[in-house]
A and B are shown apart, each in its own frame.
Chain A
Amino acid sequence: MGETLAQKILKRAGGNEAVEINEIVWAKVDVALMDDILGPRVEIAEGLKTLGDRVWDPEKVVIVSDHYTPTCTENQAKIVQFTKNWAKEYGVENYFEYAGPCHQVMAENGFDKPSTVVVGTDSHTCMAGAFGAFGTGIGSTEMLGVLATGEIWLKVPESIRVEWQGQLPKGVFAKDMVLNDCGEIGHAGATYKVLEYGGDAIQSLNMDERMAISNMAVEMGAKAGLIPADEKTAAYLNQAGIYEFEILQADSDADYIHTYKKDASKLIPQVACPHNVDNVKPIDEVQGTRIDQAYIGSCTGGRLYDLKCAAEVLKGRKIAEGMKFLVSPASQTIYKQALREGILETLVDAGATIVAPSCGLCLGAHTGILAPGERCISSTNRNFIGRMGSKESEVYLSSAATVAASAIEGKIADPRKYL
Chain B
Amino acid sequence: MTKEIKGFAWTYGDNMNTDIISPARYMEEDYETIGQHAMEGVDSKFSSKIAKGDILVAGHNFGSGSSRETAQIALKYAGVGAVIAKSFARIFYRNAINVGLPVIEIDGVDRIQEGDEIQIDLEKGFVENLTKNETYKAAKLPKNIVELIQLGGLKRYLDRKING
Contact = CB atoms under 8 A, between A and B. Distances in A.
A76 B28 contact: yes
Interface stretch (B1-9, B62-70, B107-115, B118-126): B62-70
Interface stretch (B17-25, B45-53, B128-136): B17-25
B151 interface: no
A94 interface: no
B41 A385 contact: yes
Contacts of A37: 24, 27-28, 68
A364 B25 contact: yes
A92 to B, nearest CB: 19
Interface stretch (A136-144, A200-208, A243-251, A312-320): A136-144
Contacts of A326: none
B19 A50 contact: no
Contacts of A141: 69, 95, 98-99, 153-155
B95 A221 contact: no
Interface string A40-81: 001100010011100000000000000010000101100100
A123 to B, nearest CB: 4
Nearest to A366: B25
Contacts of A73: 28
A224 B151 CA distance: 29
Contacts of B94: 138-139, 142
A79 B28 contact: yes
B154 A145 contact: yes
A387 B19 contact: yes
B34 to A, nearest CB: 10
Nearest to B31: A42
Contacts of A123: 65-67, 91
Given A141-B98, A141-B155, A385-B42, A191 B17 contact: no
A192 B61 CA distance: 11
B21 to A, nearest CB: 10
A188 interface: yes
A153 B154 CA distance: 11
Given A38-B67, A142-B94, A144-B158, A363 B89 contact: no
A223 B60 CA distance: 17
Contact of B95 (A50, A122, A142): A142
Given A188-B61, A364-B25, A139 B159 contact: no
A382 B67 contact: no
Given A138-B67, A187-B64, A382-B19, A51 B158 contact: yes
Interface string B138-164: 000010100000000111001101110
A43 B91 contact: no
A365 interface: yes
Contacts of A50: 159, 163
A148 interface: yes
Contact of B60 (A122, A139, A188): A188
A149 interface: yes
Nearest to B71: A139
B61 A187 contact: yes
Contacts of A138: 67, 91, 94-95
B31 to A, nearest CB: 10
B90 interface: yes
B11 interface: no
A380 interface: no
A73 to B, nearest CB: 6
Nearest to A389: B25
A276 B15 contact: yes
Interface string B70-96: 101100000000000001011100110
Contacts of B24: 37, 363-365, 387
Contact of B67 (A139, A153, A365): A139
B73 to A, nearest CB: 8
Contacts of A221: 61, 64, 89-90
Contacts of A140: 69
29 contacts: A37-B24, A38-B69, A42-B69, A43-B69, A52-B162, A73-B28, A120-B67, A122-B66, A122-B67, A138-B91, A139-B68, A141-B99, A144-B154, A144-B155, A145-B154, A148-B158, A149-B158, A153-B144, A187-B61, A188-B87, A191-B89, A218-B65, A221-B90, A276-B15, A382-B65, A385-B41, A385-B42, A386-B19, A386-B40
Given A38-B67, A38-B70, A144-B158, 6 more contacts: A137-B91, A139-B67, A148-B162, A155-B142, A188-B15, A221-B89
Sorted nearest first, the 4 A-B pairs with minimum C-beta distance are A139-B95, A188-B61, A137-B67, A75-B28
Interface of B: 15, 17, 19-20, 23-25, 27-29, 40-42, 60-61, 64-70, 72-73, 87, 89-91, 94-95, 98-99, 142, 144, 153-155, 158-159, 161-163
